[in-house]
Amino acid sequence: MILDPALKVIQPDHQIFVLHPGDGKRFYDDFKHFKAVFLDLPGANLEAAPDLELEVVRNRLRMARALAAWNRQRVKPERPSTDPDDHSVQATKPARYMREAETLYKLAKPGDLIIIPGSGYNTDVMLAEIVGEFDPTFTVRPGRYLDPVQARRIKFLDRNQPKYEFGQRQIKLMQNRQALIRVSENASRHEFYEHAYGDYVYGDRSGNFMEVTQRVVDQKDLSDALFLTNLYGAMYVALRNDCLEDFLSLSLQDGLDKYYNRELFGDISIEVHSPGFFGRPLRDAALAGYIASMTVLASAGANPVAAADVKVQNSANATVSICDQSLEDDLQHSMRMVMNADLWWEKVCGKQMLVNDAVGLKTKARLVEDGGKIPIPAPSPVAKD
């Protein structure tokens, strides 16, 4: 048995940027069409990633700024000079748009996350990653622009969601008129990671993101879904404290009450508009992968004997990490312990399947067979009380 947790392990120097696609979001479709992001600086013709210490670079950026303003005018006056020397001025420090050019074209690294908001609450927020270093020869021509615009290649993530599904903190960032914003506040970073990657590990923290796919969700059914994620969290605490045998001897509620650790769970985000999600940052690097994996194993009604030798193959990262090995060890140990416990078969699996039916619970983690993904089996009929 092979399990793919699809657990993104994020490096400590990873960056997140909110990039506004121009005034009135006019470059939103261009970003999508070209699979590239850029600033409104046509005709800059930078020969390398911008070094703001160089006067010629500052002159080129001023020239591009003037060309952008000229391009936007309906009735165009005389075209600005395209000689960078004609845009030389005495300035004490680079302007903000120059710093933004330096950030996007020089400081942004391959793999950094780009958040691209659209107009209004119902328009998708596009999520993408930077691909490759800055290439001065790579340009695009948005709209009716006469001059080419230098850009960074991106890879879109299959995680676009409307703006209203984000928290108020993130919406405030996405409504800021500044062209490029580096996201540094931890709470905002964690929510963006939830939306972009689902389950992830970042430093000594991790995060869970589960989709609710049913269009109509009963409150009790949603509470049952949250109960199960909390239960797997309590099971993880028992495992870490070498108390898993005691946990399995208890009822579900008693096991949760005894081993649930509030210090490991952050504030939960819930959105159940059709469809929706719930996400939560966790104060433990291994907890998100464990919860998602146990959800998948219970959803599939996995045989504990087979699952006792489960192998973890993580598709979200290019290389095997220590997180993958730790998760594999935890899952194998857990499943060996439930072989002789009716809690797994009769209580956990049955309850998980009912929850999946009721709320359409979905996680990115998957069981894998022969190198190809297989869907979680449809829940077997279980009569409700």
Each residue of 300-348: pLDDT tens digit?
Answer: 888 888 889 999 999 888 777 788 899 999 999 999 988 877 778 777 8
Residue with more model confidence, 300 or 215: 300
Do the Cβ atoms of 207 and 200 come closer than 8 Å? yes
Do the Cβ atoms of 180 and 17 come closer than 8 Å? yes
Do the Cβ atoms of 7 and 199 come closer than 8 Å? yes
Chain-centroid distance, C-alpha 256: 29
- pLDDT above 90: residue 101: yes
Q: What is the Cα–Cα distance from 321 to 290, expressed in whole angstroms?
A: 15
Q: What is the pLDDT of residue 311?
A: 93
**CA dist list (Å): 242 to 208, 228, 236, 246, 356:** 24, 21, 10, 9, 30
Burial 143-152 (b: 16+ CB within 10 A, else e): eebebbbbbb
Chain-centroid distance, C-alpha 308: 30
Q: What is the Cα–Cα distance from 29 to 220, expressed in whole angstroms?
A: 41
Residue with more model confidence, 378 or 12: 12
Do the Cβ atoms of 249 and 345 come closer than 8 Å? no
Each residue of 365-383: pLDDT tens digit?
Answer: 899 864 444 344 443 333 3
Do the Cβ atoms of 278 and 267 come closer than 8 Å? no
Each residue of 169-185: pLDDT tens digit?
Answer: 889 999 888 999 999 98
**SS3 for 21?**
coil
**CA dist list (Å): 19 to 24, 101, 170:** 13, 12, 13
Each residue of 249-275: pLDDT tens digit?
Answer: 899 999 999 999 999 987 777 777 667
Q: What is the Cα–Cα distance from 312 to 345, expressed in whole angstroms?
A: 22
**Angle of helix 219-240 versus helix 350-359 axis, rounded to 10:** 140
Of the candidate ranges 96-100, 255-259, 297-301, the one whose mean pLDDT is the lowest: 297-301
Q: What is the Cα–Cα distance from 310 to 331, expressed in whole angstroms?
A: 7
Amino acid at 204: D
127: confidence class by pLDDT, cuts 50, 70, 90: very high
Q: What is the pLDDT of residue 376?
A: 41
24: confidence class by pLDDT, cuts 50, 70, 90: confident
Q: What is the pLDDT of residue 273?
A: 67
Tell me the average pLDDT across 45-66.
95
Quote the pTM value: 0.79
Of the candidate ranges 132-136, 233-237, 381-385, the one whose mean pLDDT is the lowest: 381-385
Tell me the average pLDDT across 200-213.
87
Q: What is the Cα–Cα distance from 369 to 366, expressed in whole angstroms?
A: 10
* Structure letter (DSSP) for residue 265: B
Chain-centroid distance, C-alpha 351: 28
Do the Cβ atoms of 47 and 105 come closer than 8 Å? no
Q: Which two tokens stand for residue 103?
A: 């950030």
Please provide the DSSP assignment of 104-144 as one string.
IIII--TT-EEEE--SSSSSEEEEEEE-SS--TT-EE--TT
Cross-strand bridge partners of residue 139: 150
Chain-centroid distance, C-alpha 365: 14
Tell me the average pLDDT across 206-224.
87
Each residue of 26-38: pLDDT tens digit?
Answer: 899 999 999 999 9
Q: Which two tokens stand for residue 62?
A: 């001023």
* Average pLDDT over the chain, rounded to an integer: 87
Cross-strand bridge partners of residue 210: 278
**Angle of helix 252-259 versus helix 219-240 axis, rounded to 10:** 60
Do the Cβ atoms of 361 and 212 come closer than 8 Å? yes
